[in-house]
Amino acid sequence: MSEPSDRTVPFFDYPALSRNDEQQLVEIFRDICRRGAYISQSDMRDFEQELARYVGARYVLGMANATDALHLAVRAAGIGAGDEVLFSSHTMVATAAAVAYAGAKPIPVECGADHLIEPDCLEEAITARTRAIIPTQLNGRTAKMDAIMEIAERHGLLVLEDAAQALGSRYRGRCAGTFGLASCVSFYPAKTLGCLGDGGCVITNDESIYRKLCLLRDHGRDERGEVITWGLNSRLDNLQAAILRFKLPNYPETIERRRAIARRYQQRLGDLPGLVLPPAPDSHPDHYDIFQNYEIEADRRDALRAYLQQRGVGTLVQWGGKAVHQFQGLGYRRELPRTERLFQRLLLLPMNQLLSDQDVEYICDQICAFCEQQAIRRSAA
Ligand SMILES: *Cc1c(COP(=O)(O)O)cnc(C)c1O
- Cα of 163 vs centre of ligand 1, distance in Å, is 8
Judge whether 6 lies within some domain: no
Grouping H, G, I as helix, E, B as strand and the rest as coil, residue 191 is coil
The mean pLDDT value for 356-373 works out to: 97
Q: Taking the chain, what is the end-to-end CA distance rounded to the nearest angstrom?
A: 29
At 106, which helix (H) or strand (E)? Answer: strand 105-109
Q: Are residues 140 and 288 in the same domain?
A: no
pLDDT averaged over every residue in the chain: 96
Whether the predicted pLDDT of 3 surpasses 60? no
Q: Are residues 360 and 371 in the same domain?
A: yes
Whether the predicted pLDDT of 129 surpasses 90? yes
Is residue 96 very low, low, confident or very high in pLDDT (cuts 50, 70, 90)? very high
What residue owns the CA closest to ligand 1's atom 6?
66
**pLDDT, tens only, 157-166:** 999 999 999 9
Determine the distance from the C-alpha atom of residue 112 to the mean position of all C-alpha atoms in its chain, rounded to a whole number.
17
Atom of ligand 1 nearest to the CA of 68: 9
Q: Are residues 262 and 165 in the same domain?
A: no
Q: Are residues 182 and 312 in the same domain?
A: no
Which of 249, 268, 302 is the endpoint of a domain?
A: 249
d(CA 58, CA 43): 18
Closest CA to 136 of 292, 256, 23: 292
Phi, psi of 380, rounded to the nearest 5 degrees:
-75, -30
Q: Are residues 191 and 277 in the same domain?
A: no
Q: How many residues does the chain have?
A: 381
Judge whether 12 lies within some domain: no
Q: Are residues 244 and 103 in the same domain?
A: yes
Atom of ligand 1 nearest to the CA of 94: 10
Atom of ligand 1 nearest to the CA of 292: 15
The mean pLDDT value for 357-365 works out to: 98
- Cα of 110 vs centre of ligand 1, distance in Å, is 19
Q: Are residues 302 and 317 in the same domain?
A: yes
Which of 192, 225, 249 is the endpoint of a domain?
A: 249
Whether the predicted pLDDT of 2 surpasses 80? no
Judge whether 318 lies within some domain: yes
- Cα of 297 vs centre of ligand 1, distance in Å, is 22
Whether the predicted pLDDT of 188 surpasses 90? yes
- Cα of 109 vs centre of ligand 1, distance in Å, is 19
Which of 249, 268, 300 is the endpoint of a domain?
A: 249
Atom of ligand 1 nearest to the CA of 187: 7
Atom of ligand 1 nearest to the CA of 191: 1
Judge whether 290 lies within some domain: yes
Predicted local distance difference test score (pLDDT) of residue 258:
98
Q: Are residues 68 and 136 in the same domain?
A: yes
d(CA 312, CA 362): 10
The residue whose CB lies within 8 Å of the most ligand 1 atoms, and thus the one to mutate among 160, 162, 236, is 162
Q: Are residues 289 and 168 in the same domain?
A: no
- Cα of 195 vs centre of ligand 1, distance in Å, is 13
Q: Are residues 206 and 293 in the same domain?
A: no
Residue-number span of the structural domain to which 269 is assigned: 250-380
**pLDDT, tens only, 139-184:** 999 999 999 999 999 999 999 999 999 999 999 999 999 999 999 9
- Cα of 166 vs centre of ligand 1, distance in Å, is 10
- Cα of 122 vs centre of ligand 1, distance in Å, is 22
Judge whether 194 lies within some domain: yes
Atom of ligand 1 nearest to the CA of 137: 13
- Cβ–Cβ under 8 Å, residues 262 and 291: yes
The pLDDT > 90 percentage for the chain reads: 96
**pLDDT, tens only, 299-358:** 999 999 999 999 999 999 999 999 999 999 999 999 999 999 999 999 999 999 999 999
Domain containing residue 296: CATH number: 3.90.1150.10
- Cα of 375 vs centre of ligand 1, distance in Å, is 38
Domains contained in the chain, number: 2
Predicted local distance difference test score (pLDDT) of residue 375:
85
- Cα of 160 vs centre of ligand 1, distance in Å, is 14
Judge whether 146 lies within some domain: yes
Is residue 5 very low, low, confident or very high in pLDDT (cuts 50, 70, 90)? low
Is residue 251 very low, low, confident or very high in pLDDT (cuts 50, 70, 90)? very high
Predicted local distance difference test score (pLDDT) of residue 273:
94
Domain containing residue 183: CATH number: 3.40.640.10
The mean pLDDT value for 10-14 works out to: 97
Atom of ligand 1 nearest to the CA of 138: 13
The residue whose CB lies within 8 Å of the most ligand 1 atoms, and thus the one to mutate among 71, 92, 318, is 92
Ligand 1: list residues with CB < 6 Å.
65-67, 91-92, 94-95, 136, 162, 164-165, 186, 188, 200
Q: Are residues 309 and 172 in the same domain?
A: no
Predicted local distance difference test score (pLDDT) of residue 6:
78
Whether the predicted pLDDT of 378 surpasses 90? no
**pLDDT, tens only, 33-73:** 999 999 999 999 999 999 999 999 999 999 999 999 999 99
Q: Are residues 22 and 144 in the same domain?
A: yes
